Amino acid sequence: MPQMAPLSWFGLFMVFAATFLLFSVINYFLYPLSATASLKSGEVEPSSSFNWKW
């Protein structure tokens, strides 16, 4: 079995890295982020308070 040259390994890595980045970007922008009704109206709901028991 012939061995691959280091530049060939680097080229293969670059192809896989570019494919991964392209896949990630497409997945991120595929579905639009929907804001909730309270954020659309400008109201901010107070977060639920936590009762910390130390």
What integer pLDDT is reported at residue 40 of this predicted model? Answer: 58
What integer pLDDT is reported at residue 21 of this predicted model? Answer: 98
- SS3 category, 14: helix
> CA angle at residue 30 from 27 to 33, to 5 degrees?
105
What integer pLDDT is reported at residue 39 of this predicted model? Answer: 54
What integer pLDDT is reported at residue 13 of this predicted model? Answer: 94
pTM as predicted = 0.51
What integer pLDDT is reported at residue 16 of this predicted model? Answer: 97
Give the model confidence (pLDDT) of 5-43 as tens digits.
Answer: 888 888 999 999 999 999 999 999 898 777 655 555 565
* Interatomic CA distance for residues 8 and 50, integer angstroms: 56
